[in-house]
Each structure stands twice: as C-alpha cells, then as structure tokens.
Structure 1
Amino acid sequence: MKLIVLCAGGHARVIIEALLSRGIRPAAVVDRDAARLGEAVGGIRITGSDDDVNKMAAEQVELANGLGNRASRTDSGLSGRRALFDRFAGLDYRFPVITHVSAVIASDAQLGAGAQVMAGAVIQPAARIGRNALVNTRAVVEHDCIVGNHAHIAPGAVLCGGVSIGESVHVGAGAVVLVGVKVGAGAVVAAGAVVKKDVAAGGFAGNALG
C-alpha cells in the first residue's frame, strides 16, 4: 500500500523524516501549488495535487497530514490542518499513526487515527492522544493526560499529569501546563507560558507568542 504525504511544507519534511526512521519511504508528496510539481521535499518528489489523490481508491493508499500551523493570540491556526484531515477521512481515506523511532510511548497510551508523535517526544501511561493530533519534537505528555482531536503540542511543551487539552488547541513551544489544568477547545497557550489554571474555550494563556 502506498503512503502519500499531503502538503509540501516544513512539517511535511518532519513527517517524512519520522517515516524514514521507521523504514517507511513515502511514495509521493502532493501539494495544491501546481508550480511545485516535480520538486523534492525530504527527498520525496511532489507528483501532483490533492485532486490527484481523489482519483485513487481509498483502500489502495494511506495518507499523512503534512500541514502545520501558525498560531496567534486569537486563533490556534489549526483549521486548515483539521479541514485537510476531515476532507479525506470523510472519503474513507486512512491516516495511520506516525511516530518517530526515538519517541517514547507508554504501552497503554492511546493514539487516534492520524496522530503524529515526533522525535524525542514522550507519551506516558494512560495518556490519550486524539485524531490528527500532533505531539511535536521533545514534547512531554504525562500520565492520564487527554490531548483532543486536531490539537498541537509544540516542540518542548510539557503537559503535567492529568491535563486535559481540548480540540484544536495550540500549546506553544516550551510551555508548561500544570497538573490537572483543563484547556478548552480552540484555545491558545503561548510559547514559554506556565499555565496554572483552566483556560476557557477560545481563550489565551501567556504574555506573548513565539
């Protein structure tokens, strides 16, 4: 079965590297920018667009979401990544879990379809990672944490025990969310923030974004 990476941005290179660490070489990358046809991303050629994937039978390919995000104080920036996943998942295309070989994942941790765990990340016992969620480089998800669908735990962020992260939340690089804190859907935690109390849905925690 062929594996195709959607979107040829910077995150796609990280995904390709994670796949290669497991001995999996993607068949192709696709991107909506027709001008990039024939370019290589992480050593894998861009062979077409999303529309070309639609011409392939869903049971013959697997997909990896290579679209990243850029958060602001008022927007987690994850709507595009979510829409890309939902578009193809709704057509019965399969998104496998992708984990870098250097990631440490507890035996009883649960990872939803299309979840991505990058190099050096740690997922501890009884943690649950949602569909299309991204736990980025060296992030730590401690015991009994819940990471909602489509959320992004950015590089070096730490979720202490029992933290609950809602859907489409962005937790910025190096942020620390303390024990038992709940972060509502669509909220943004700034890079480097220390979050000691719950954050409302669509809310913001921290003084700046980095």
Structure 2
Amino acid sequence: MYLYGASGHGKVVAEIAEECGYNIEAYIDENPSKERVLNYTVIHEAPPYDIEVLISIGNNRLRKRVVNRGEHFNYITLLHPKAILSKRLKIEEGTIVMPGVTINAAVKIGKHCIINTNASIDHDCIIEDFVHISPNVALAGNVYVGEGTHIGIGASVIQGIEIGKWCTIGAGAVIISDVPDGATVVGNPGKVIKSRSLNI
C-alpha cells in the first residue's frame, strides 16, 4: 500500500498500517523537499497504475481534492486493533480509526474520515464523508455530522444534534443545539462565531 501525505498525520497512519500488517511501499507527497519519512521513501507522483492507497492528510478539504482527481487508487480502510468497534458498525473506504476509539451499535461512517485517538461515538450516529473527529471527542447517540466537518479535540455533542457540512467545532466545545452548514462554533455552550463558504 501507499500513503498519500507525508506530514505528521502520515506518521501516525503509517504506524497504524504497520500494526494492521500492511506493507508500506512508499509515501506519495508533492513536496519535493521530502525524501524519507519514518524510513519510508517519499515519491512525488503516484505510479501510473492501480495501487492501494490511504490518504494520510489531516486536512479534510485537501483529502477531498485528492479523491476528486480520480487517480488510479484503490482505497483501503484502517481499523486499529485496539479500537472497540460494534459488529453492527458500517464504515466505508478510505477511513481510518485510531487506537482507543469506541464506536457503538448502528453507527454509519462515510468515506475518507478520520476517527482519532480515544474518540467515542455512540449508537445510531451518522458521520458523512471527509469528516475528522479529533482525539477525545464524545458524540452521544443519534448525532449527525455533515460532510467535511472537523470536530476539535475534546469537544462534546449531546444526543440528537445535527451538525452541518464543512463546519469547525472548536476544541472543548459543548454542542447542545444544531449547527448550520459552514459554521465555526466555540465555547460552552457552543456558539457560532463565523460562517464560511462551502466551496471546496
């Protein structure tokens, strides 16, 4: 397999891939100054044939841009063996689940998501494509998270909340009401402080 993205997040992804028994051929990264990361070679263009890839870029918008290029990639999913995962979890390609994560019954997780260290996702949540759930985030049951949203470290979301597309939820925020598309929310209780365009 190849990892697309050779920065800090890529280092974490590499170690999870190793833990899952994958053989990493190389990183792919467009930065010509990068030559080796964690003793793996960095190449600057993808091979011109079908390869197994996980996009190891933390930025949600950049991950989507890579996917939209339509490269010859077969996307894999990485599930750390020390995550606690319901047998009724549905999870799509290109997503990574990191150590210490707990995901309960009837959760649906989309494509190319990051479910980061020690996050907790309770029953019946829906996580759309390109979402990043940061370390120690807690989502109660029946939470909906729209495409491309980033929920910051240590944030908490009460049950039944809907969070829109391409939102930013600040670190430690407590979300007790629905969040519109493109909003940035901080604080306890969470308040919208700005909104941005959904153009990717």
Flag whether TM exceeds 0.5 (same fold): yes
- 1:156: Cα distance to partner? 0.6
Matched, 1:34 2:32: yes
Taking the aligned partners of 2:53 and 2:22, their CA distance within structure 1 comes to: 13
Match in the other structure for 2:54: 64
- 1:68: Cα distance to partner? 1.1
Query: What RMSD in Å do the two structures reach over aligned CA positions?
Result: 1.4
> How many aligned positions are there?
188
Matched, 1:201 2:197: no
Match in the other structure for 2:83: 103
Match in the other structure for 2:10: 12
Match in the other structure for 1:164: 144
1:43 to 39, 43, 47: 39
1:117 to 97, 101, 106: 97
Structure having the higher helix fraction is 1
Deviations 1:16-44 (A, max 9, x none): 1111111223111121111212x2x2332
The question of whether the paired residues in 1 share the 8 Å contact of 2:78 and 2:97 is answered with: yes
TM-score (norm 2): 0.90
Taking the aligned partners of 2:47 and 2:163, their CA distance within structure 1 comes to: 36
The question of whether the paired residues in 2 share the 8 Å contact of 1:62 and 1:96 is answered with: yes
Identity of counterpart residues, as a percentage? 29
Q: Which runs of 5+ in 1 are unaligned?
A: 70-77
Tell which has more relative contact order, 1 or 2 (C-alpha 8 A, sep 6+): 1
Q: Partner letter of residue 56 of structure 2?
A: G
Structure having the higher strand fraction is 2
Match in the other structure for 1:82: 64
2:111 to 107, 113, 131: 131
